[in-house]
Amino acid sequence: RDEVNIISGALEMSQKKVEDIMTKLDDCFMLDIDTILDFTVISDIVRTGYSRVPVYEGKRTKIVSIIFTKDMAVIDPDDNLPLKTLCQLMPYNIYNVPVGTTLDILFKNFKDGIRGHMAFVTKKDEDGEEIMVGLVTFEDVIEEIIQEEINDE
Ligand code: ADP
């Protein structure tokens, strides 16, 4: 029964944590900020089918920005534009949530207008440094509520 699923999904929101539903770091499609947006890279981005691509600096655990796949439409591959330049032109405030954050809180923050509807799950590593361990989007949260995969092809 759909209604029963949705209600129980909603009730479990305060029990489930971001790390339970996130896309893990190894599975995240992301780009190094030192990437050049040439033909190959632009094709790779478009071919993934993702609408947002996190940008990291130095190591994959250090996210500094997000770019939007739709912006690739206005970039000339022959310009060999540095990704860094694009990030400077379109600054983006990333949203981090610590491991342990429950889904009701994440849902509320997305609903109240976290831009881009993407959050990075972070935790402290052995050296006390804040590192990214996965990403979570509004769609991941909605899927938990309706307890079904969303097919947005
Ligand atoms: P999109 O609009 O790109 O389809 P959604 O917000 O609909 O993204 O999320 C669909 C699924 O893809 C979610 O499970 C989300 O965690 C995952 N996802 C979104 N962007 C990326 C990315 N750049 N790399 C890996 N997984 C991603």
Q: Calculate how far, in angstroms, residue 50's C-alpha sits from the geometric centre of ligand 1.
A: 6
Cα distances from 123 to residues 33, 120, 130, 147, in angstroms, run: 22, 10, 5, 27
Atom of ligand 1 nearest to the CA of 30: 23
Q: Calculate how far, in angstroms, residue 53's C-alpha sits from the geometric centre of ligand 1.
A: 9
What are the pocket residues of ligand 1 if the criterion is a CB atom closer than 6 Å to any ligand atom?
A: 23, 27-29, 50-54, 135-137, 139-140, 152
Q: Calculate how far, in angstroms, residue 21's C-alpha sits from the geometric centre of ligand 1.
A: 12
Predicted interface score ipTM higher than 0.95 = yes
3-class SS of residue 22: coil
**Best substitution site from 18, 22, 23 to test ligand 1's pocket, by max atoms within 8 Å of Cβ?**
23
**Best substitution site from 18, 45, 50 to test ligand 1's pocket, by max atoms within 8 Å of Cβ?**
50
- The one-digit pLDDT tens for each residue of the chain (153 residues) are 788 888 877 788 899 999 999 999 999 999 999 999 999 999 999 999 999 999 999 999 999 999 999 999 999 999 999 999 999 999 999 999 999 999 999 999 998 887 679 999 999 999 999 999 999 999 999 998 887 666 666
Distance CA 102, CA 34 (A): 34
8: left (phi over 0), alpha (psi -120 to 50) or beta: alpha
The dihedrals phi and psi of 49, each to the nearest 5 degrees, come to: 85, -5
Atom of ligand 1 nearest to the CA of 50: 3
Distance CA 55, CA 32 (A): 6
Note whether 142 and 151 are within 8 A (CB): no
DSSP H helical ranges for the chain: 2-11, 18-21, 39-48, 83-89, 103-111, 138-146
Residue 25's pLDDT is what? 98
Distance CA 88, CA 32 (A): 14
Query: What is this structure's pTM?
Result: 0.92
Q: Calculate how far, in angstroms, residue 90's C-alpha sits from the geometric centre of ligand 1.
A: 20
Residue 49's pLDDT is what? 95
